[in-house]
Structure 1
Amino acid sequence: MTNTTVDDAIETGTVRVNDDIQLAYERRGSGPDIVLINNFFMDRKSWRSYTANLASVARLTSYDLRGQSESSPHAGEPEWADHITDLKALFDALGLEKAFLVGTSFSTLVCRDFAVAYPERVHGLVLAGPAMSPYGPQRLRRITKSWLKTLDTSGLGVLYDQLYPLVSGDHAVEAAGPIGFMGRKQNFLGIHTVESLRAGLAVSVKAPLDPEIIARVRQPTLLFVGGDDFSLSETAVEEIAKLLPDATTITVPRGGHLAFLEEPEWFQREVVSFVRRVTGTGDQDG
């Protein structure tokens, strides 16, 4: 761990996970540990706007995945297992004995696999818009490969044009309007390069999607899903919950694939309630 500083009550630094890779991280708040894991379309700083209330009741750690934002680039295409071993190295370097994991979209698979590999290090999982299927991998594989093809043939801007109406709920798209769309597009283009995003999409194609892996998760799990999620039907969510030993499902009726972005207050309330239930701290004030 190097170059640790404190800026506006946010601790920032880097963790070396091997000779070639350093992960940039930040921590804020106090209380039970929650590790926020980015999907491949956001960086660690993106969480700040959606977790401010959580920082009053928990210690939040977020980090850039290898090849993303301020973390070291990966030479060639990373392997899926790299993200699991990176998270273990982050836990060890920061002295995290046990934590809750919060993931969204494809990073829910990182949460799943880390919880299976290191069950003693995980209190529980929060899976927001999980990129997983109770049936098999074919649909998600085809979707991801189509995004990768768009990136390679048409670039970042066209990829965002394709992504936006899919991952955002119908109601959210109408509410944001053209100005909201352009603002979010500029932010997207500002935090990604073709190379960094391609690395994320390429490794997501390698992510294991066998439903049997979901059934190997033993920790309590909160599923926070959108009723208007293009990739996950109500029936599929029910089937995923059946595979888990202790699952709670919260559905945002008009929410899209990333419903936590559309309803951040609701999301944070549910995470706080979940953390308190799992840790046995009840409904005490934060």
Structure 2
Amino acid sequence: MGRTVNADGVELWVERRGQGPDVLLISGLGDPVEAWQSQLDGLADRYRLTAFDNRGAGRTPLPEEPLSVPRMADDAAALLRALQVPAAHVAGFSGGSFIAQELALRHPDVVRSLVLMSTVARPDAYFRAMTRFWRWMVERAPDERAMLEAFFLWIYTPRAHADGMVDQFVEETLAFEHPQSVEAFQRQLAAFADHDTLDRLGRITAPTLVLSGELDLATPPRLGRVVADSIPGAGFEVLPGEAHQPFQEVPDVFNARVDAFWREVEAGG
């Protein structure tokens, strides 16, 4: 069961599961903690996992003040300190990987290692055009179902569209009791579109693994490669046949890979 945690004055909705080395899971655009269900279920026998709703997603309210990636990184650091976690393995997905980058730069003491899934250091022209389209799409789609069906074209593989997985995700999202508002979607999107760490990534010292999906349209492997090349010693892997969210589509594959990485980091001290 989840609960609200006061993280330096911000009421974040948090779910924790398992025992072992601490892992912090940071969600992407619009995603609540439920997006990490396969990790909360599949890795809890080896790790103590913490997932939370970013500002404006799920059960965490949207603030009146401006929303930014550095501010959300400060939230993540404040959450770990509120939970009395000295340092954690941090896994961030998409916009959550942007937050994870800033967390490692602004609060290196709380980051044991980094997994950056579907990540970008500096948005390129395609990324900026895509996010501009998403901004008006969420306002002008005929209804929420139509918006999700369109949005998910960038997110999941053709395989997931063909085998019914995307239909299931649409139904689960529509049934979720804490939907994200249009304003919250747009403000999170604007914060992620402004993300830029390219000239600072060389300061990250935490062991880092960058993962990209071969078929990812939103954050293709060429952008993940830039991140990995900019972080000293970072590993880079492309998951064949996968798109933007392999941690949901092929959770066993994703869980096994991050588990192996975290075991390597733990063994290295």
Please point out which of 213, 224, 227 is paired with 1:237: 224
- After alignment, is 263-272 or 229-238 more displaced? 229-238
Structure 2 letter corresponding to 1:184: F
**Structure 1 residue aligned with 2:14:** 25
Alignment partner of 2:149 out of 121, 136, 161: 161
**Partner in structure 1 of residue 70 of structure 2:** 81
Q: Which residue of 2 aligns with 1:197?
A: 185
How far apart are the structure 2 equivalents of 1:89 and 1:238? 30
Partner of 1:218: 205
Which letter maps to 1:254? Answer: G
**Distance across 1 between alignment mates of 2:145 and 2:224:** 31
TM-score (norm 1): 0.84
In structure 2, the gaps of 5 or more residues are none
Q: Distance in 1 between matches of 2:209 and 2:231?
A: 10
Moved beyond 6 Å, runs of 4+: none
Q: Distance in 1 between matches of 2:152 and 2:85?
A: 35
Identity %: 25
Q: Deviations over 1:144-164 (max 9, x none)?
A: 121011112235333322221
Distance 1:203 1:63 in 2: 18
What are the Cα deviations for residues 77-106 of structure 1, in whole angstroms up to 9, with x where unaligned? 423332022112101110010001111111
Match of 2:132 among 127, 136, 145: 145
Change beyond 3 A, Cα 1:157–1:215? farther
Aligned to 1:61: 50
Shift of residue 69, structure 1, vs aligned partner:
1.4
C-alpha distance after superposition, 1:218-240 (max 9, x if no partner): 21111222111113444443333
CA contact (8 A) 1:223 1:248 kept: yes
1:16 counterpart letter in structure 2: N
TM-score, L = length of structure 2: 0.89
Structure ID, larger Rg:
1
Match of 2:171 in 1: 186
How many Å separate the matches in 1 of 2:52 and 2:222?
Answer: 33
SS in 1 for 2:64: coil
Aligned pair in 2 of structure 1 residues 70, 276: CA closer, same or farther (>3 Å)? Answer: same
Distance between the aligned counterparts of 1:53 and 1:23, measured in 2?
23
Q: Is residue 224–residue 267 contact of structure 1 (8 Å, CA) maintained in 2?
A: no
Q: Which residue of 1 aligns with 2:4?
A: 14
Q: Which position in structure 1 is the counterpart of 2:214?
A: 227
Shift of 1:281: 6.9
Specify the alignment match of 1:262 in structure 2.
249
1:18 shift after superposition: 4.7
In the TM superposition, what are the counterparts of 1:245-284 in structure 2 within 5 Å?
245-280=232-267
- Structure 1: give runs of 5+ residues left out of the alignment: 1-6
